[in-house]
Structures are given as structure tokens and as C-alpha cells.
Amino acid sequence: MNKTSFLGQSLVAGVMAASLPLMAGQAQASDYTIDTEGQHAFVQFKVSHLGYSYILGEFKEFSGDFSYDEGKPEASSVNVKVDVDSLDSAHAERDKHLKSADFLDVSQYPTATFASTGFKTTGDGAGKLTGDLTLHGKTQPITIDVDHIGGGEDPWGGYRQGFEGTTTLKLADYGIDTSKLGPTAATVDLYLVIEGIRQ
Amino acid sequence: MWRNSRRGWGWPVIVMHWLSALAIFGLFALGWWMTSLGYYDPWYKLGPWWHKSVGISLFALTVLRLIWRHLQITPQAHGTRNEQRAAFVGHVLLYVLLLLIMASGYLISTADGRGISVFGLFEVPALITGLKDQATLAGDVHWYASCGLVILSLGHAAVALKHHLLDEQDTLRRMIWPLR
């Protein structure tokens, strides 16, 4: 550990200690809205291409909120709604195919939702977020590995918390047939960056 | 033999008509087949390459065809007054659908700013890109308009046969050989 981050940690600890009496009077958990207005949140995916490389893409439109209490992270909860139609893999013809009835069938299932059911801390800001993901009309329980990146006051008078998360989905679980794409495309990795503004 | 007359079509019209018919039915079959191919099929990339190259060529031919038709007289239409009116509307609709299909096909492939390569010789640049859901919506138009064109073309052929067989007129013959 270098000096700067040690100093940073001491500072955070100092500030937290100083604000403890203040926090005691507040509601325990705070509600945050995902900052989609400033777009400080990303829902990205990665799928193998032939087993030789990857296709990267993202869902550009989504919304959600979460409840988070630094002192009691187990009580956290998250709800996110993704506009599946906003899929973008930087190639319109591929997006058209992925959104067609062959795969995501967006006209039939325009939204995907995630509703958390629990959160377990594994220490050092990390944890496992469990919840129900509804995609392609099918709901499956998933676990997202979450890391608390940071949080605090922003320069514009607000208060923010940021997290990143990763999980892997088996597309067949959601009734999406990837057999024509080869065995390496059976799973998709998701990478989520979620920054929330306290309400 | 080159120019149209009151009785029949000239060679350019006849050749362009049958080339278009061949291209339209070929493109329809190819388009239908290629969109059903699996990712590992050798034709997965080759099918669209031919479809786009022939499609752009057909557009060039159609522009030429419309200009030529505009410069030439049109042979006397056969049948009753109502049949002539129906024929006119049908022919205009054939051209409208054809142009709609070509425009929508172009908008699918250029939705993200990529151009369309024509037989690897040159590239047609993208002009309109990034509209909301451009590729998907243009794809829907492309498919339904194509189905409409194929059905209308079959009707077009059926009516030509009706003129030939039942009315014993030279409607079909004059689209095969120029009449003076």
C-alpha cells in the first residue's frame, strides 16, 4: 500500500467518525437512482466469437434504483429495467439479427428486468448479489459478483455510490437458442457499472 | 428495333424487363434462403455479398429503365378501359414496390454508417444512418414489400398469360420480340 491511499483511507475513516453522530439521526438505508441522465452506468456484454475472439456490446437504455447502507450492506436491494431494443454491438446488421426472433425477440420481449433478492458481503467492499433476472420472457435466479468502487459527495452538491458487477448467463436458461452460433457462444458475460445518485 | 412503337417494345425495354424479372426472383429466393443459414454455413457471408451486389446493380438498371421509359413512347395497352386502368396502376405499383425494397435494403446495410460493396469493385456510401431501430424497421419493410412484389409479379405474369391465351392478344409476345 502506498502512502497516498493510506492517507486517503485515514481521511475517510476520520470523516466517517466525525459524521457518525450525524448519521445516527438519519434513516439507515438511502435510496439511489442510477445515473442514466449523465450516463454514469453501463450494461455491457461479451460473447465468444468462434472461440477465437469476443463480440462486445452494450444495452444503451436502462433505468433503475437501489437502496444501500454502508453500515449495513446486507440490507441493500436493486431493481433494474433494461430496454433490450437498445442493444448495440457496433454493427447494425448484427444488432438486427440479435434482436430478431432468432435470439432476443425484442418485439415480443422488449424489456429485461432484474430484481434483487439478497446481498451477502464477502468482505473488503465485495459481495454477492442474488436476484431474479427476467430475459426473453423467462425468469431465472442469478448471482452477480459485486464490488463497491466508491462513494461520497460529488462536486455538484450530490451524493453518489458506485459499484461494478460481473455475472455469466447461460442463454439456453432463457430459452434463447445459440446452437447455430457454436458451443462457445452458449454463455454471455455481463459487466455492469452502476453509479447511483442519492435521492 | 431499339425504339418502342405504338404496337410494341424495343429491345432495351425487353432485355431490361427480363433481366429485372430474373434478378427480382433470384434476389427473393436468395434473400429468403440466406437469412435462414446457420452462422457456420459457408454461404453465411457469401449470400449477403451476392444479394447486395446484385441488388445495387438492379437499382442501377431500374434507374436506367425508368429514364428510358420516360424518353420512349409506350405501346397501346390491351383490353377494356378498366383493364387498361388496372394495368397502369399495377405497373406503377410494381415500380413503387421495387424502389421501396431497394431503398429499405440499402437502409439495413448502411444503418451504422458502413457502405455497401458491389462485387468488391466499389462501395456505395452510407447516406442515412443511425435512425432509431433503422436496421430492424428497414428489414421489416424490405421483407413485406418483397413478399408484396413477388405476389404482384405473379399476378402480372398471370394476367399476361390471360391476354395471351384467353384474349389471344400479343401482350406477352411483344415483351419477347420487338414488333414493328
Residues in B 110-129 with any Cβ partner in A closer than 8 A = 111-112, 114
Question: So what's the ipTM on this one?
Answer: 0.81
* Residues in chain A within 8 Å Cβ distance of B39: 180-182
Domain that holds residue A144: 28-198
Residue A18, in any domain of the structure: no
Residue A6 backbone class (left: φ over 0; alpha: ψ -120 to 50; beta: rest)? alpha
A182 contacts B40? CB cut-off 8 A = yes
Confidence of residue A9 (pLDDT cuts 50, 70, 90): low
pLDDT at B174: 95
- Gap between the Cα atoms of A54 and B164, Å rounded: 59
Question: Considering the domain boundaries, does residue A12 fall inside one?
Answer: no
Tell me whether A99 touches chain B (CB under 8 Å). Answer: yes
- Answer yes or no: is A11 within a domain: no
Classify residue A43: in a domain, yes or no.
Answer: yes
pLDDT at B5: 92
Percent of chain A with pLDDT over 90: 79
What's the structural domain count of chain A? 1
Compute how many other C-beta atoms are within 10 angstroms of the C-beta atom of residue B42: 8
For residues B7-32, give the mean pLDDT. Answer: 97
pLDDT at A156 over 80: yes
- Asked if B130 and A88 count as a contact pair (C-beta separation under 8 A), the reply is no
Mean pLDDT of A111-125: 95
Residue with cell 467518525: A17
Q: pLDDT digit string (tens) for A11-47?
A: 444 444 444 444 443 446 899 999 999 999 999 999 9
Which CATH number is A80's domain given? 2.40.128.110
User: Cα(A120)–Cα(A74) distance, rounded to whole angstroms?
Assistant: 6
Inter-chain contacts counted by CB atoms under 8 A, chains A and B: 32
Q: What mean pLDDT, rounded, does chain A reach? A: 89
Mean pLDDT of B131-159: 96
Q: Quick one: pLDDT band at residue B44, thresholds 50, 70, 90? A: very high
Over range A150-174, report the average pLDDT: 96
Percentage of the residues of chain B whose pLDDT score is greater than 70: 99
Contact with chain B for residue A88, Cβ under 8 A: no
Picking from B38, B111, B114, the nearest residue to A180 by CB comes out as B38
> Is A126 inside a domain boundary?
yes
User: Which residues have a Cβ under 8 Å from the Cβ of A185 and sit 6 or more positions away?
Assistant: A47, A48, A49, A171, A178
Task: Identify whether A81 is part of a domain.
Answer: yes
Longest dimension (CA), chain A: 60
Nearest C-alpha neighbor of B58 from the set B163, B146, B158, B141: B146
Residue range B139-148: average pLDDT? 98
Contact A181 B135 (CB under 8 A): no
Q: Chain B window 33-52: which residues touch A at a Cβ cutoff of 8 Å?
A: 38-40
Is there a domain that residue A92 lies in? Answer: yes
Query: Residue A124 — very low, low, confident or very high, per pLDDT cuts 50/70/90?
Result: confident
Contacts of B134 in chain A (CB under 8 A): 92
% of chain A with per-residue pLDDT over 70: 86
Q: Taking residues B32-46, report their average pLDDT.
A: 94
The pLDDT of residue B92 is 97
Tell me: the pLDDT tens digits for B56-78? 999 999 999 999 999 999 999 99
Chain-chain contact of A99 with B109 (C-beta, under 8 angstroms): no
**pLDDT (average), residues B139-146:** 98
| The domain over range B11-175 is classified in CATH as 1.10.3810 | no
CA distance, residue A92 to nearest chain B CA (Å): 5
* Average pLDDT for A4-16: 47
Considering only CB atoms, A85 lies closest to which of B38, B109, B133, namely B133
CA B36 to each of CA A26, A131, A180, A184: distance values in angstroms, whole numbers, following the listed order: 60, 36, 10, 21
- Would the pLDDT of A116 be above 70? yes
Task: Give the mean pLDDT of B131-147.
Answer: 96
From chain A, pick out residues whose CB is under 8 angstroms from the CB of B115: none
pLDDT at A29: 81
Name which of A24-38, A47-61, A180-194 the model is least confident about.
A24-38
Residue A157 counted as domain residue? yes
How high is the pLDDT of residue A6? 46
| B109 touches A: beta carbon within 8 Å | yes
Q: Is the pLDDT of residue A7 over 60?
A: no
The confidence band for A114, taking pLDDT boundaries of 50, 70 and 90, is: very high
